[in-house]
């Protein structure tokens, strides 16, 4: 399965995926049958949700109900700091979303979660989504893309309950869980709404059982979904009446490492459906897709195609390769001075991730690692420790570069530069979320200057130099080198134990 093992592959053609979709044309026929579950007999979801929300909004705001699972404190932060947000004062509850065409109850859900005003991508894309159009949207990271498709989906689903209504493909397992959490936050008051994450590393049997129940929302990584669709016909059946197909982080999902999976998945989906592509960067693949397949789609881009979030102060740090870890240690000592609550450190490979996390451990710095060679349980535990603030540093490969929404991340360190310049935009987008400010430091060595230039020409911006005093940095050299030695021994022992 290619879900996580292919973090660093490059992008090429998607034509075969496109032709699959064309071949599927006409497969879905006949009338839509209403689900014969208790849901079908219930009062319209719309009414239930509206009534609950009206009651809830008129009272105290419920804390901690935001989908990201980061608690009520963060809800207020996000709501207050979204670009262009006027603080929500003045108008009636939920007015900040009214112009998008969302129903009063959906607007009021947003309001109760601290989302006072639609972000630009939401203002632009929710109306055409509600109108049933295909959409290709390119908006900067952390700009509210998930709510942009979940909110209209919730409203449309309320009118039309047909089993699996919306399939969302994401490139990393953690993103599936994160989107599911957002659904729980946004749809928490809508009775009977169900969603499931279908990702690698977890029990296939459990996932098949959940899919057979035809949840309304499925958040999946392509590899696992493909395997299940091929091997379990009752699961495949659940997607027969799918209405909305969302590809999140589309530029990543449309690259060749996922091509085979997408082809297969496309074969199980009805051709008559709404397709939405969201990405922070638009690659050639997406441009081709929208031109060839999604002819009448609504296209929207917040900026030029490749742009980092404006509120991120990103700088580079020139360091000799030999003493990179010494510089890192120096920076990590400055967390308090830099007012950093938590930081993500990106490295080039699973092995480097493992080694660097051991090094930080030897240096008594609390850090957890996240990479694709870990068991899923370990990945989730690392992420949970980081998200909850138990551990302030996450060392990760590009498996964590996209979509993760952790509001406390004030600093992104590119310890190694990404191989693909566009990954830089995704990595630094882990900070400065939802209108907040953030900071990024990129380590550049004598071997990676060219990569820095590629990034600068992609983003159209020169990074400024982060000044350090060499003498001050190198006073840690003995300690760091001793720790490096200890790590080497630890890894040798580990390997001997495995052999």
> Which of the stretches 9-17, 138-146, 369-377, 486-494 binds ligand AMP when contact is defined by CB under 6 A?
138-146
Taking the least distance from each CB to ligand AMP, the nearer of 150 and 463 is 150
Smallest distance from ligand AMP to CB 105, Å: 16
Taking the least distance from each CB to ligand AMP, the nearer of 21 and 433 is 433
Q: Would you say 289 and 254 are in contact if contact means Cβ atoms under 8 Å apart?
A: yes
What is the rounded distance in angstroms from the CA atom of residue 32 to the CA atom of residue 157?
A: 13
Burial 166-185 (b: 16+ CB within 10 A, else e): bbbbbbbbbbbbbbbbbbeb
Question: Whose CA is closest to 208, among 227, 184, 180?
Answer: 227
- Neighbour tally for 466: CB within 10 Å: 18
Backbone angles phi, psi at 274, to 5 degrees: -100, 135
Question: Whose CA is closest to 289, among 79, 455, 134?
Answer: 134
* Cα torsion through 136, 140, 142, 144, rounded to 10: -40
Smallest distance from ligand AMP to CB 406, Å: 9
* Residue of 261, 405, 410, 423 that binds ligand AMP (CB under 6 A): 405
> Which of the stretches 8-16, 143-151, 255-263, 317-325 binds ligand AMP when contact is defined by CB under 6 A?
143-151
Taking the least distance from each CB to ligand AMP, the nearer of 75 and 210 is 75
- Which residues contact residue 497 at a Cβ distance below 8 angstroms, ignoring those fewer than 6 apart? none
Taking the least distance from each CB to ligand AMP, the nearer of 69 and 392 is 69
Smallest distance from ligand AMP to CB 93, Å: 14
* Residue of 146, 279, 283, 414 that binds ligand AMP (CB under 6 A): 146
Does residue 372 belong to the site contacting ligand AMP (CB under 6 A)? no
Smallest distance from ligand AMP to CB 9, Å: 24
* Residue of 14, 78, 332, 420 that binds ligand AMP (CB under 6 A): 78
DSSP letter string, 351-378: HHHHHHHHHHHHTT---EEE-TTS-HHH
Please state whether beta strands 409-414 and 438-444 pair in parallel, antiparallel, or not at all (unpaired).
Answer: parallel
> Which of the stretches 14-22, 40-48, 142-150, 362-370 binds ligand AMP when contact is defined by CB under 6 A?
142-150
Q: What is the rounded radius of gyration, in angstroms, for the C-alpha atoms of the chain?
A: 23
* Residue of 4, 65, 68, 283 that binds ligand AMP (CB under 6 A): 68
Smallest distance from ligand AMP to CB 178, Å: 8
Smallest distance from ligand AMP to CB 488, Å: 39
Question: Whose CA is closest to 207, among 242, 241, 179, 232?
Answer: 232
Taking the least distance from each CB to ligand AMP, the nearer of 50 and 142 is 142
Does residue 82 belong to the site contacting ligand AMP (CB under 6 A)? yes
* Residue of 108, 119, 401, 448 that binds ligand AMP (CB under 6 A): 119
* Residue of 11, 120, 128, 142 that binds ligand AMP (CB under 6 A): 142
Smallest distance from ligand AMP to CB 310, Å: 15
In the sheet that 274-279 helps form, which strands lie side by side, from edge to edge?
Answer: 195-198, 217-220, 166-169, 244-247, 274-279, 135-138, 298-301
Does residue 147 belong to the site contacting ligand AMP (CB under 6 A)? yes
What is the rounded distance in angstroms from the CA atom of residue 51 to the CA atom of residue 29?
A: 36
Does residue 144 belong to the site contacting ligand AMP (CB under 6 A)? yes
Smallest distance from ligand AMP to CB 404, Å: 8
Taking the least distance from each CB to ligand AMP, the nearer of 251 and 325 is 251
Interaction mask 430-459, ligand AMP, x per CB under 6 A = ---xx-------------------------
Label residue 147 exposed, middle or buried (CB < 10 Å: 0-12, 13-18, 19+).
buried
Taking each helix axis as running N to C, give the angle between helix 45-58 and helix 145-159, from 0 to 180 degrees, rounded to the nearest 10. 130
Closest residue to bound ligand AMP by CB = 144
Task: Name the one residue in this structure whose structure tokens are 């949207």.
Answer: 137
What is the rounded distance in angstroms from the CA atom of residue 443 to the CA atom of residue 343?
A: 15
Does residue 282 belong to the site contacting ligand AMP (CB under 6 A)? no
Taking the least distance from each CB to ligand AMP, the nearer of 431 and 448 is 431
Taking the least distance from each CB to ligand AMP, the nearer of 143 and 189 is 143
| Tokens representing residue 353 in the block | 């991730």
- Judged by the rule CB under 6 A, the positions of this chain that interact with ligand AMP are 66, 68, 78-79, 82, 115, 117-119, 122, 142-147, 405, 433-434
């Amino acid at each position: 399965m290619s879900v996580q093992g292919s973090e660093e592959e490059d992008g090429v053609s998607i034509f075969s995926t496109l032709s699959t979709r064309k071949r599927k044309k006409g497969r879905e026929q006949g009338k839509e049958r209403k689900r014969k579950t208790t849901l079908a007999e219930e009062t319209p979801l719309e009414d239930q949700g509206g009534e609950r929300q009206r009651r809830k909004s008129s009272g105290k705001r419920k804390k901690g109900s935001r989908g990201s699972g980061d608690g009520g404190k963060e809800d207020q932060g996000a709501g207050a700091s979204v670009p262009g947000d006027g603080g929500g004062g003045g108008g009636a509850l939920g007015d900040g979303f009214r112009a998008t065409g969302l129903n009063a109850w959906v607007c009021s859900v947003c309001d109760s979660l601290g989302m006072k005003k639609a972000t630009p991508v939401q203002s632009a894309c929710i109306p055409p989504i509600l109108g049933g159009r295909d959409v290709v949207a390119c908006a900067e990271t952390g700009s509210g893309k998930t709510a942009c498709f979940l909110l209209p989906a919730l409203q449309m689903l309320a009118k039309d309950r047909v089993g699996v209504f919306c399939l969302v493909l994401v490139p990393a397992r953690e993103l599936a869980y994160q989107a599911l959490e957002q659904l729980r936050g946004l749809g928490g008051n809508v009775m009977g709404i169900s969603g499931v994450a279908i990702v690698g590393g977890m029990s296939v049997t459990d996932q098949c059982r959940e899919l057979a129940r035809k949840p309304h929302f499925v958040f999946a990584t392509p590899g696992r979904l493909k395997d299940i669709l091929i091997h379990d016909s009752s699961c495949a059946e659940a997607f027969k009446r799918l209405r909305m197909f969302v590809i999140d982080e589309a530029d990543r999902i449309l690259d060749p490492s996922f091509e085979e999976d997408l082809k297969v998945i496309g074969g199980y989906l009805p051709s008559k459906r709404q397709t939405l592509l969201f990405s922070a960067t638009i690659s050639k693949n997406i441009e081709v897709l929208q031109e060839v397949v999604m002819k009448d789609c609504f296209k929207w881009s917040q900026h030029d195609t490749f742009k980092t979030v404006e509120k991120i102060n990103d700088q580079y740090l020139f360091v000799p390769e030999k003493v990179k870890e010494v510089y890192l240690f120096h920076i990590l000592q400055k967390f308090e001075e830099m007012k950093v609550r938590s930081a993500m450190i990106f490295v080039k490979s699973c092995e480097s991730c493992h080694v660097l996390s051991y090094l930080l451990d030897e240096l008594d710095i609390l850090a957890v690692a996240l990479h694709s060679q870990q068991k899923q349980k370990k990945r989730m535990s690392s992420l949970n420790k980081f998200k909850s603030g138990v551990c302030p540093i996450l060392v990760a490969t590009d498996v964590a570069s996209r979509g993760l929404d952790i509001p406390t991340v004030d600093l992104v360190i590119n310890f190694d530069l990404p191989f693909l310049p566009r990954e830089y935009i995704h990595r630094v987008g882990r900070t400065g979320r939802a209108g907040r400010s953030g900071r990024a430091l990129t380590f550049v060595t004598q071997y990676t200057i060219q990569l820095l230039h590629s990034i600068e020409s992609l983003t159209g911006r020169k990074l400024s130099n982060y000044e350090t005093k060499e003498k001050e940095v190198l006073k840690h050299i003995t300690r760091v080198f001793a720790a490096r030695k200890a790590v080497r021994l630890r890894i040798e022992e580990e390997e001997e134990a495995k052999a």
